[in-house]
Structure 1
Amino acid sequence: MLDAEDENWSSEHRNRSLAERELSAALDRLDRLGRPLNAVVSAIAHPRRATTGPLVGTPIAVKDIIAVAGHPVGNGNPEDMVGPPAEHDAPVISLLRAAGADVFALTSLLEYAAGAPHPDLPEARNPVRPDRTAGGSSGGSAALVAAGVCRVAVGTDTGGSIRIPAAYCGVVGYKPTFGLVSAEGVTPLSPSLDHVGLITATVDDCLSVLPSIVPALASEVASHEAAPRAGYRLGVLDGQLADPRLDPEIAAITRGALDRLASAGRFDLEPRDAAPLAAMDELLGPILMVEAWRVHEAIMKTRPEHFGATTRRLLAEAEHAAPAARLAALERRERLRPDVDALLDGVDALVGPVVPYPAPELTPPVDTPEGEIEGIFTGPYNVTGQPAVVIPCGMTADGLPVGLQLAGRPGDDVALLRLAARAASVLASPAP
């Protein structure tokens, strides 16, 4: 009979063997499936990990804008990709390793997450339709999850950069409450808007990882598992669904998904005015432009050729953004908060579309007509800092995924994810 010490050794040995098998399989999939999609910056064949923990045997990919010790932080920029290695892990990476996860790949992104790929780096392709983009800026992370290379990837989201690729690729994208997951060790774009979050195969995958990167939520996740809700009330953002910029087919698929949720008997739908969120979206530009210029001003003034032409153009436009406009936007945000909070009175979450159109061939630069509207439904939640999650809800006639966006109250991330898991389960079931 094994004593306690032998049992511990045996358990750790089994965990180590499991992790090595899963890692080897993930690295094989990375080469076979991920690299042809331009989703991979580099593989990490021998990642450091704890030998025990809830994420042992879980390969996790990381957007190459987050510090992983021993590897350059590439930022979607050719010079940075061969720069000095990071000396320390970002806190989110340290927490994943401590839970036993294998950080096994760094994923491609739009340059500095600023809205355009560098011309020398091919854009990540969509596993569902490789002639289409995986989206940005966390496109590599979304592509790997959608291709089945891994079930979990870490991304960042300043105006929709997790949720838009998730919608384009037909996977789950979760932007937490602002500040819930540390952004330390992440190359900033707009510190007032930047969020670190997850792209996963299912909402349950999000819930399985969340306690490891936000340990304070472990008991809340467990309590929600023990006491599931019978039903939910959703506030439908009718103004978004009626927005003339929304592709009619996307609108019809979204409405069909809402009808299915209502017909399942678990969701009651109530109309909500989208105007307060549209007002919030108007504030994103002034905040982002001033903060992005502050982040990149030094290099723009000394070595502008460091950036790709489109990113350089976008940052040159940001140079002329007025700091006073940013302050005015932040002040208006606080005045608008009560109106946004009121949208959630009597409902558990808000629901609406994610992107006005399905995945295009290439990500449109943010200063083009298509690029200007890409984030109109996602950006407001970066300004408010509310948690938001995207789940798949259908396919276009051309076989392109469509997502549904759910948003909750600040700090109610676990409740929102539980609701999203229930909704995703209904939408994944065969239509009657």
Structure 2
Amino acid sequence: MPDRSIAEAGAQMRAGRLTARALAEAHLDRIAAENPAIRAFVAVTPDRALACAAQADADFAAGIDRGPMQGIPFAIKDLVDMAGLPTTCGSRAAPATPAATDAAVVERLLAAGAVPLGKVATYEYALVGPSFDGPHPPPVNPWNPDHITGGSSSGSAAAVAAGLVRVAVGTDTGGSIRSPACYCGVVGLKPTHGLVSRHGIFPLSPDLDHAGPLAASVAEAALMLDAMAGFDARDPASRACAGPAAAELGQPIAGMHVGYARDWFATDPALNPAVLVAMDDAVSALSLLGARISLIALPDYAVMEAAGAIILHHRALTIHRHRLHAYGRQALQSLLAGLGLTGADLADARTAARHLRDETDAILSRFDAVVTANVLAPAPPFAAFAGNKAVWTAMRTLPFNLTGHPALALPIGFAGGLPMGMQLIGRAFSEARLCRIGHAFEAATDHAAQRPPRQTGGR
């Protein structure tokens, strides 16, 4: 039952062949059986889940339809407030006081009739990991438990990949939705900056912070994003909502113009050759679907990453400076990278960001989407992080936090039994177009249909 898509489960609930309570109970049973091995959930809320499911069932019975997410279970990254639970942020430094209210994204999902199952793991304060000095052991990759999930939406990706839930809330400041989506073989959607309110989400770097969905499919990511999105005056960056991300699902992509930023990653020494082969094959699949492909050059990646890193590290240290003594080793190492940065450095980086955003806008104005690599190799093993040290993994994600453009991550194959992925980037508020392209690709390939083996028992 937990393996039904949102559309399938919704149709059955509306036809009276399934109840939201039964669906929630099936998810809770699977979490109880399999989460000890996956370690994705750090807190499960059965009472609240069943109460919300009962309300969804009562609404269905009364003819009240709140939309596609009604009765659908979801998980919440533990950087996001959920009333009645502490927001631990994956850290021993976090206060144990339960949140008094729900974050804006949780409010909106509850208003849409969705059913909250609980909190899933994050790297400490959305910084780096996996770490072993936090309040919980890190989640494992469902495809191979000896490998990491990526971060910082580690629990969100692991929970979706393992089939514990179809959709989960994630956050993305430098790739934290897209990196774990890639490593775990699921879909991740970082929306346009300002489309989803961050009120009630602990900040890392507000210039770059985004919230968005991780999901088992493109269609489900689109449906969840539509429930999450909307203007919120409590978030200073919030902007008027775009059209529904699900509006163009199922439409053909023949005639669309897609730019392929191959040179952004093809000669990088960190690239696993299998990623290049899979990327070329994925772009060929888009061509066979009728898209017109052009090789393009994006702004220099190193410059974009450097400007983004300055903003991230300067702002993160400002937010976290007062409690550095309580952080784990990896998080502390990451935060200390901001010590040598000045206000002038931040101002220069923001100026560069504006220029790079304008340059990227000009490129994207000529295309329906741009495709490039997401992460340059499959998930590394936990052994690479021996000694609890921070390890850099090569990604191509941070620039679109810097520019604020939407980016859709989706699987494109496997290397050594581990997933690989790409990302589609579009103009601001073009989520519907990205999901249309991603959904067409997904339907024409079998990558998203593959699931890891069930895991039981603890590690």
Same fold (TM over 0.5): yes
Quick check: 1:239 aligned with 2:260? no
Quick check: 1:352 aligned with 2:365? no
Distance (Å, rounded) in 1 between the aligned partners of 2:27 and 2:246: 28
> Structure 1 residues 273, 57: closer, same or farther in 2, change over 3 A?
same
Quick check: 1:420 aligned with 2:438? yes
Distance (Å, rounded) in 2 between the aligned partners of 1:206 and 1:363: 32
Aligned to 1:21: 22
Quick check: 1:66 aligned with 2:90? no
Question: How far does residue 260 in structure 1 lie from its aligned partner after superposition?
Answer: 2.4
Answer whether contact 1:238 1:271 (CA < 8 A) is retained. yes
DSSP-derived class of the 1:390 partner:
strand
Question: How far does residue 429 in structure 1 lie from its aligned partner after superposition?
Answer: 7.7
Answer whether contact 1:211 1:217 (CA < 8 A) is retained. no
Residue of 387, 399, 419 corresponding to 1:401? 419
Quick check: 1:295 aligned with 2:319? yes
Quick check: 1:212 aligned with 2:217? no
Deviates most, 245-254 or 165-174: 245-254
Aligned to 2:34: 33
| Deviations 1:48-105, CA, capped at 9 Å, x for gaps | 535342222211011001000000001001353x701000000100010111111112
The sequence identity of aligned pairs, in percent, is 34
Moved over 6 A (4+): 11-17
Answer whether contact 2:286 2:441 (CA < 8 A) is retained. yes
Distance (Å, rounded) in 1 between the aligned partners of 2:384 and 2:213: 23
Distance (Å, rounded) in 1 between the aligned partners of 2:425 and 2:139: 27
Quick check: 1:77 aligned with 2:77? no
Superposition map of 1:20-419 within 5 A: 20-47=21-48, 49=52, 51=56, 52=59, 53-54=66-67, 55-80=69-94, 83-116=96-129, 117-120=131-134, 121-215=136-230, 220-221=244-245, 223-225=247-249, 229-244=253-268, 245-262=270-287, 264-300=288-324, 304=325, 306-362=326-382, 371-375=391-395, 377-396=396-415, 398-419=416-437
Distance (Å, rounded) in 1 between the aligned partners of 2:223 and 2:335: 38
Q: Which amino acid aligns with 2:280?
A: R
Question: How far does residue 354 in structure 1 lie from its aligned partner after superposition?
Answer: 0.7
Q: Which amino acid aligns with 2:282?
A: A
C-alpha root-mean-square deviation of aligned residues, in Å? Answer: 2.6
Distance (Å, rounded) in 1 between the aligned partners of 2:369 and 2:265: 16
Unaligned ranges ≥5, structure 2: 1-11, 60-65, 231-239, 449-459
Answer whether contact 1:23 1:102 (CA < 8 A) is retained. yes
Aligned residues: 410
DSSP-derived class of the 2:82 partner:
coil
Q: TM-score, normalised by structure 2?
A: 0.83
Q: Which amino acid aligns with 1:37?
A: I
> Structure 1 residues 230, 327: closer, same or farther in 2, change over 3 A?
same
Q: Which amino acid aligns with 1:421?
A: H
Distance (Å, rounded) in 2 between the aligned partners of 1:71 and 1:91: 15
Q: TM-score, normalised by structure 1?
A: 0.88
Q: Decide which structure has greater helix share.
A: 1
> Structure 1 residues 369, 331: closer, same or farther in 2, change over 3 A?
farther
Unaligned ranges ≥5, structure 1: 1-10
> Structure 1 residues 185, 156: closer, same or farther in 2, change over 3 A?
same
Q: Which amino acid aligns with 1:315?
A: L
DSSP-derived class of the 2:281 partner:
helix
> Structure 1 residues 221, 320: closer, same or farther in 2, change over 3 A?
closer
Answer whether contact 1:67 1:90 (CA < 8 A) is retained. yes
Answer whether contact 1:76 1:112 (CA < 8 A) is retained. yes
